[in-house]
Amino acid sequence: MKIKEGPGRKLFLAADAAVLVLLALACLAPVLHTFAASFSDPVALAQNHNLLFWPIGQPTVKGYEIVLQNRSIWTGYLNTLFYVVAGTLTGVLATAVAAFVFSRRSFLPANFCMLVVSFTMLFNGGLIPTYILVDSLGLINTRLSLILPTAINVFNLIVLKTAFQGIPDSLEESAKLDGAGDLYILFHIYLPLARATVAVIVLFVAVFHWNSWFQASIYLNKRELYPLQIILQEILMQGNISLTGTSADIASSYSLYHTLVQYTTIVVSIVPILCVYPFLQKHFTKGVMVGAIKG
Amino acid sequence: MTRLLKNYRQHKTLYWVGGLILLYFIVFSYLPMGGLVMAFQNFKLADGIFGSEFVGLAQFEKFFNSPYFERVIVNTLVLSGYDLLFNFPAPILLAFLLNEIRNRAFKRTVQTVTYMPYFISMVVICGLIVDFTDSEGVVTRLAHLFGSDATSLIASPSAFRPIFIISNIWQSIGFNSIVFLAALAGVDQDLYEAARIDGAGHFRQWLHVTLPGIAPTIMIMLILRIGQIMNVNFEKVILLYNTSTMATADVISSYVYRVGLLDRQYSYSTAVGLFNSVISFVLLLTANALSKRFSQTSLF
């Protein structure tokens, strides 16, 4: 279909593209600045007050050397990996099982259950009662405190349940005739058929755990349990960089490397996620479906 | 009842697993709701929920008479109001702009880049904000060009709201546009064809087909947003505020955090939090009812 486009339309499209390019640049600039700064010369960087698009001074990997030698960053990184893997496995598995059970038409109390579950989206006990609960369950200063209370996200549950409901019942029935149990049906039929939705939920849950900071800040006060975000908060907001384990010349010039290390730590912490999300981008619509909220 | 019993015998696994999931929600969501009775007590950790002294509405009275009452309510409403005004329409506008683009590669690139800030942690974002708005920071210096005389924006009370709102838009405009883009893709293409045959230009097609097509989505998102008016993202507030910006930055939720978890005034902060949740809940129900009445769109 070919329609002649007037000059007004052309002007509009050009302006549209220009606005989008500017917006994209605005979104990109702070991140680009961070990458450039992390490879910059520490002295030049400490005196720099401009937005960077390219390392300033002689490019160097000094910041990365310091970060790699820093014990708290390493422990934080490993802890975060644990929270992400354990939290995502538990969370997605529990969400999938819940979505499966509550999407069965043969399960009579399904609607009642969904009502009980959905209500928690509208109203909750709030910060302090939740904290007291976690405390009285003995979860303070345990790894479980970051995994259990947030295991099932109701929004994800509803999204996945809606996806499951879109799968024809006949598949389940024929599997049942072949003697398949509920678990088999969930793992071999439903999860594979809803894999795009599942993938997006896995990503969102993993990112939640990777970036989660607040829960750790209130539930944990043992340094060996701290996730990376708490270490980052110390480095970025309080300016604390523990330089134990770094070589003497670096430790003696603490203030010199301060800014550089801040940027390097940010890069180290955001790169894994920035490498993953673009691959699932086209499925994001499946994870945020508004239509899924109703019902 | 016999029907339920028969259903149970047929699907025992479903019942047991479903029961476990409900138990999870009872423990982690409904027990804290029960814990809200703390708001009416003088709760002491040692005495527990059942042993603590009842004080009726005393904690609420304390909040209403507190010098912080006005400050945190006003700050919450103003910050949320600005957010609703600027941050709510921004992704809708972006979705419209993206929807007109025919070049797929360009569209996808803009999407990838604008989604990026959403995946960066709050700690890192706030670290960058502080860095850029500190004395000699890039944004502080930029503001000087426009006549600002603040030595450091992050320490200036009048700059807190703009910083908060603009960075909110930066963080979420791309990701929040997804839902509207999905709605735009769902608009019946035949309607455009029909509009063209009737001689409608691009603007009229947008006005009479596109806009009505995604109005229900906008409405649903608006209801959800109104239910969140009292809940300013306090993680961001407590990472960004400092002693000199408290007057404009302190909101209800950051106040609850401070008096509750830092000062350990459990009952008092629970009362403040409950006051906040009840208003939120009423707002959500009202927005839903109004929308149901006037636009036939509703959440529940």
Structural domain of A93: 78-207
Is any Cβ of chain A less than 8 angstroms from the Cβ of B84?
Answer: no
Is any Cβ of chain B less than 8 angstroms from the Cβ of A114?
Answer: no
CATH number, domain with residue A198: 1.10.3720.10
Give the pLDDT confidence score for residue A69 in this predicted structure: 86
Give the nearest partner residue to A109 out of B18, B130, B277, using CB atoms.
B18
Q: Does A192 fall in a domain?
A: yes
Give the pLDDT confidence score for residue A295 in this predicted structure: 37
Give the pLDDT confidence score for residue B141 in this predicted structure: 86
Contact B178 A285 (CB under 8 A): yes
Give the nearest partner residue to A237 out of B100, B117, B126, using CB atoms.
B126
C-alpha distances (whole Å) from A241 to each of A38, A60, A234, A259, B261 are 16, 20, 7, 10, 26
Is any Cβ of chain B less than 8 angstroms from the Cβ of A18?
Answer: no
- Output B109-114 pairs: Cβ under 8 A, ≥24 positions apart: B109/A24, B110/A20, B110/A21, B110/A23, B110/A24, B111/A281, B111/B174, B112/A278, B112/A281, B113/A24, B113/A27, B113/A28, B113/B174, B114/A23, B114/A24, B114/A27, B114/B173, B114/B174, B114/B175, B114/B177
Q: Does A236 fall in a domain?
A: no
Angle at A193 between CA A187 and CA A199, to 5 degrees: 85
Contact A30 B128 (CB under 8 A): yes
B234-267 pLDDT tens trace: 999 999 998 889 999 999 999 999 999 999 999 9
Q: What is the mean pLDDT of residues B49-77?
A: 93
Give the nearest partner residue to B32 out of A9, A21, A124, using CB atoms.
A124
CATH among 3.30.70.920, 1.10.3720.10, 3.40.390.10, 2.40.30.10 for B63-121+165-295: 1.10.3720.10
> Rounded to the nearest 10 degrees, how much is the dihedral formed by the CA atoms of B109, B110, B112, B114?
160
Q: Does A137 fall in a domain?
A: yes
Is any Cβ of chain B less than 8 angstroms from the Cβ of A93?
Answer: no
pLDDT tens-digit profile, chain A (295 residues): 445 567 888 899 999 999 999 999 999 999 999 999 999 988 888 888 888 889 888 888 888 988 888 888 899 999 999 999 999 999 999 999 999 999 988 899 999 999 999 999 888 999 999 999 999 999 999 999 999 999 999 999 999 999 999 899 888 888 888 888 888 899 999 999 999 999 999 999 999 999 999 999 999 999 999 999 999 998 888 766 665 555 555 555 667 788 888 899 999 999 999 999 999 988 888 877 655 454 3
A47-74 pLDDT tens trace: 888 888 898 888 888 889 888 888 888 9
Q: Does A216 fall in a domain?
A: no
Instruction: Yes or no: say if B24 and A151 are a contact pair by the CB < 8 Å rule.
Output: yes
B85-97 pLDDT tens trace: 999 999 999 999 9
In the chain, the amino acid numbered A21 is: V
Give the pLDDT confidence score for residue A1 in this predicted structure: 43
Give the pLDDT confidence score for residue A33 in this predicted structure: 94
Single out the residue of A121, A120, A277, A153 nearest to residue A203, CA to CA: A277
CB contacts of A106 in chain B (<8 Å) are 7, 10-11, 14
Domain ranges of chain B: 2-54, 63-121+165-295
Q: Which of residues 158-217 of B touch A (CB under 8 A)?
A: 170, 173-175, 178-179, 181-183, 185, 196, 202, 217
The tally of domains found in chain A comes to 1
Give the pLDDT confidence score for residue A294 in this predicted structure: 47
CB contacts of A148 in chain B (<8 Å) are 28
Q: What is the mean pLDDT of residues B141-161?
A: 87
Q: Does A133 fall in a domain?
A: yes
Instruction: Yes or no: say if A161 and A194 are a contact pair by the CB < 8 Å rule.
Output: no
The ipTM is 0.90
Q: What is the mean pLDDT of residues B68-97?
A: 95
